[in-house]
Amino acid sequence: MRADTGHWLERFFDGDNGLRWSALQDPTHPWSPQLLPWIALAKADDRDLPIILPRLEADDRPSWYCAGRSARGALRLHEALQAFIGPSYSDFDGRPYPLNADDPVEAAFAEDTVAPAYRIRASTPGDVRRIQRALELYCGLLERMPEQVRHGRRPLGALRAELDRAVAAGDEAEAGRLLEKIRGIGRLDAENLLYVHVGVRAGLGQWRELAEDGALLNQLIGLRLPPRVLADIHDALYRRYVEPSEDADAPEYALAAFRAAGLARRSTLFGSRRGLRGARVLKAFFLYELAREDQASTGLADLADELEGLDDTFAHALATLGRPTEASPPADPMDVADAAFDDLEIDRALDLYVQAPPSRKRLSRLIRCAEDVGTAEATKRVIDAIQPGDDAGNLPPSWAARLQALLEKCTADEDTRAPKGWLEWARRVEAGMGEDEAMSALREHMATWDPAELSGSKVQADELTGIINNASASAEPVFREAAPLLYQALIPESGAPPRRVKPLLQILVTKVAFLADPSQTELELARDMASTLLLIGLDAKEYEDLITDLEDLMGTQMSVFTLGWSLDLAELFAINPCPDPERRLRLVLRVTEAVRRLAHRLSPADAMVIEQLCRDYGIDCPAEIGQVETGRIDGAADALSGKSVGIYTLVEPAGQRAAALLYQICPTVRVELNSDHECTKALSHLARSADLFVFAWKSSKHQAFYCVKDHRDANNPMIQAQGKGTSSILRALLEFV
């Protein structure tokens, strides 16, 4: 216990707080039974336990102040408040409450807590007791919660891991909160915060925002961007300005779009490819070379070879635009190389310096190029290019040291150089690579790894699966942290991944199932992986194992927070092929039992979805569901009468089920669904014409988001559903109307 804990508590229960510290020590005080257990938790050494304390206003109306004492505790608290309190009988809507430093009571509360804080007030005087009872239940749960095993994690590493999971789950709001926490702890400088910001936007698919953020792009100019950041920026620019013009029958349209967007003028972004192999990066660099007035035939030929190696019809067509014949070498390669070097076109300068006559200046520039590119391939190329005329033996000491560093890098063993792929990285983790070093190497270098390494080779995928499945105690937490990044690497932009990666996905789900306290983002990640596995296809044994893992997640101590997640999960199994109906039914019965116990917290939308699920499975609906208040449904029927509703979701069955329930509420409503990935005529027309438009943003493409946003009337914006299932779509619409 911290020595000053009592001091700030005394100041909180003072001033204009109608509750007094001295009076609360008396167990007979009306507030003591509810409050003393929370005070005991506030004095505990476990910083992950939250603090919830009441303040009695002058009119005897209580307000509860809620906050965590650590980043992890704050995340748990937000989920708990939604589960135990929610908007049913309070004003809690999930938004943080800014504590006032000039208010002595709020200032005292801020002393031992971290942002965000929340303030809760009862909707009616009769709801005060309901909130007290809910908080008693929550406090009891915290008191019974076993102490968590600590692994000596630094706060920044823990937050980065949470951020990766939030991005992989598509949770934009949670990612934003975590990004602010990372900014707040002050461990990253402005440049590295910028890189994290770019990665979050890219991971969430906010390509248009990245491409059109001129201030951000200007900040990146002149920086030696990490490969992953460079890949994200090129992806964003290509998607926004060039990809809409891709046409395998007329590849010159893409070149015209590249020029029209002014991308050829952003030469600093094309200085070095840094070993990146992504299709959009290759196409962008090829177009940049084509757009140059002084095209480099060697660079074009090399890029054309790489384009032809892609499984991309347009890339093959684009490669034909390169000059068919070799251009003659420049009269003075050194002058041309110097010009390229001064323009920060490092890859091109390296090509030219290799061709230039030997000299000490040439060697110094080759060293600089190898350092800037940073790949093992560039380093080896420079070492191999050294000639006697470069006078390497008489370099000044500082340059000799830099050359020696390159020689050592070139001859380094596998344990000291950067890993070249997922499998090599996993082997090093299992061999003892530290957690921070492993995650740093992963985030920095994974953009340069061959995306086909896992999906294209069953042998490699099986070996990686075996390493993760049999991980040692030291490697286990690393693979857990890496799971979101690995999952993103396995999933193609369209369609299902190849069946050979199925065992790897199964292991990742099992890893999440073994967690003692899964966060909401980890649960969402498990649901997404389960959805992918069902899309690939499972036999009866694999299906049973998947359900067992998910039931383990439902049975964790945090299951009280996961009602909406459980409903989405039951729906997921209802709309996918089932090789074991009995096993699936047991899962659904487990969900309905949880629903029965929590019926008093259900929204009308949840109740309708549960009734729909019970009809799907041919089981009796819990009697408690019929007691859910339906006034909002009756009002929605009047509001929807004769209206048209557009629903955008990539989970088409969820949209269809939501439409069926809307017709049940109001037979005269008109519902149209859309799941187009791009801004098609159908999507833009629906966005313009629909009276109401629901956008399920967690199961969407941001290209579609911008299409809908651009075509909606400013006075009639889209309604954003917070989840992927039917209940989220229906709840968002009913709350709006």
Give CA–CA dist 581/584, Å, rounded.
5
Does the structure show a pLDDT above 70 at 698?
A: no
What pLDDT does residue 556 have? Answer: 55
Residue 296 vs residue 188, higher pLDDT: 188
- 56, 18 contact by CB (below 8 A): yes
Q: What is the pLDDT of residues 157-171, one digit of tens each?
A: 788 888 888 888 778
pLDDT over 90 for what percent of the chain?
25
Task: Mark out the alpha helices in 517-630 (DSSP H runs).
Answer: 520-536, 540-554, 563-574, 581-597, 604-617
Give CA–CA dist 179/428, Å, rounded.
29
Distance from chain centroid for Cα 421: 21
Give CA–CA dist 675/681, Å, rounded.
12
Residue 344 vs residue 676, higher pLDDT: 676
Please give the average per-residue pLDDT across 107-125, as a whole number: 86
Does the structure show a pLDDT above 70 at 294?
A: no
Residue tagged 């150089």 (tokens): 417
Residue 111: CA atoms inside 13 Å, Cβ hemisphere, count?
Answer: 18
Q: Rounded to the nearest 5°, which phi and psi values hold at 501?
A: -90, 5
What pLDDT does residue 293 have? Answer: 67
Q: What does pLDDT average to over the chain?
A: 84
Long-range Cβ contact pairs of 52-60 (< 8 A, separation 24 or more): 52/135, 52/138, 52/139, 53/12, 53/13, 53/109, 54/19, 55/12, 55/17, 55/18, 55/19, 55/105, 56/17, 56/18, 56/19, 57/16, 57/18, 58/16, 58/18, 60/18
User: Residue 530: left (phi > 0), alpha (psi -120 to 50), or beta?
Assistant: alpha
Please give the average per-residue pLDDT across 175-183, as a whole number: 87
Q: In 3D, which of 101, 168, 98, 129 has the Cα closest to residue 30? A: 129
Q: In 3D, which of 39, 33, 131 has the Cα closest to residue 90? A: 131
| DSSP-assigned beta bridge partners for residue 719 | 694
Does the structure show a pLDDT above 50 at 267?
A: yes
Helix (H, G, I), strand (E, B) or coil at 373: helix
Q: What is the pLDDT of residues 80-100, one digit of tens each?
A: 787 777 666 788 877 788 888
User: Quick count: other Cβ atoms within 10 Å of Cβ 145?
Assistant: 16
Which helix (DSSP H) or strand (DSSP E) does residue 721 occupy?
Answer: strand 719-721
Give CA–CA dist 131/121, Å, rounded.
9
Question: Using alpha carbons only, how large is the chain's radius of gyration in Å?
Answer: 29
Binning pLDDT at 50, 70 and 90, where does residue 197 land?
very high
What pLDDT does residue 598 have? Answer: 76
Least confident of 67-76, 106-115, 650-659, 670-679: 67-76
Least confident of 159-163, 410-414, 603-607, 676-680: 410-414
What pLDDT does residue 629 have? Answer: 59
Helix (H, G, I), strand (E, B) or coil at 63: strand
Give the full edge-to-edge strand order of the sheet including 114-121.
51-56, 62-68, 114-121
Helix (H, G, I), strand (E, B) or coil at 284: helix
Give CA–CA dist 245/254, Å, rounded.
5
What pLDDT does residue 17 have? Answer: 92
Give CA–CA dist 15/219, Å, rounded.
48
Binning pLDDT at 50, 70 and 90, where does residue 561 land?
low
Does the structure show a pLDDT above 90 at 609?
A: no
| Prediction pTM value | 0.67
Angle between helices 346-355 and 297-308 (to 10 degrees): 120
- 614, 591 contact by CB (below 8 A): no
What pLDDT does residue 326 have? Answer: 54
Please give the average per-residue pLDDT across 379-387, as a whole number: 90
Give CA–CA dist 725/696, Å, rounded.
9
Per the structure block, which two tokens stand in for 96?
A: 């943080």
Give CA–CA dist 565/554, Å, rounded.
9
| Most confident by average pLDDT, 88-102, 553-567, 668-682 | 668-682
Residue tagged 């927070």 (tokens): 561
Cis peptide before 116 (omega within 30 of 0): yes
Q: In 3D, which of 577, 724, 679, 561 has the Cα closest to residue 244? A: 679
Per the structure block, which two tokens stand in for 631?
A: 């006034």
Does the structure show a pLDDT above 70 at 603?
A: yes
Binning pLDDT at 50, 70 and 90, where does residue 620 land?
confident
- 211, 239 contact by CB (below 8 A): yes
Strands (E), 51-201: 51-56, 62-68, 114-121
Distance from chain centroid for Cα 550: 21
Task: Give CA separation, 148 vs 47, 119, 144, 162, 560, in Å.
Answer: 11, 27, 12, 17, 19
Residue 441 vs residue 6, higher pLDDT: 441
Please give the average per-residue pLDDT across 708-720, as a whole number: 86
Give CA–CA dist 35/512, Å, rounded.
35
User: Quick count: other Cβ atoms within 10 Å of Cβ 679?
Assistant: 19
Does the structure show a pLDDT above 50 at 150?
A: no
User: Quick count: other Cβ atoms within 10 Å of Cβ 600?
Assistant: 12
Least confident of 376-385, 491-500, 593-602: 491-500
Q: What is the pLDDT of residues 53-76, one digit of tens each?
A: 999 988 888 999 999 887 667 777
Give CA–CA dist 211/261, Å, rounded.
11
Does the structure show a pLDDT above 70 at 4?
A: no
> What one-character DSSP code corresponds to residue 122?
B
Give CA–CA dist 17/13, Å, rounded.
6
Does the structure show a pLDDT above 60 at 417?
A: yes
Residue 219 vs residue 648, higher pLDDT: 648
Per the structure block, which two tokens stand in for 411?
A: 């001859």
| DSSP-assigned beta bridge partners for residue 55 | 63
Does the structure show a pLDDT above 80 at 33?
A: yes
User: Quick count: other Cβ atoms within 10 Å of Cβ 149?
Assistant: 6
Binning pLDDT at 50, 70 and 90, where does residue 153 land?
very low
What pLDDT does residue 330 have? Answer: 55
* Burial of 396 (C-beta count, 10 Å sphere; 0-12/13-18/19+): exposed
Residue 353: CA atoms inside 13 Å, Cβ hemisphere, count?
Answer: 32
Per the structure block, which two tokens stand in for 118?
A: 């929340």
Residue 111 vs residue 495, higher pLDDT: 111
What pLDDT does residue 374 have? Answer: 82
> What one-character DSSP code corresponds to residue 101?
T
Burial 521-560 (b: 16+ CB within 10 A, else e): bbbbbbbbbbbbbbebebeeebbbbbbebbbebbebebbb
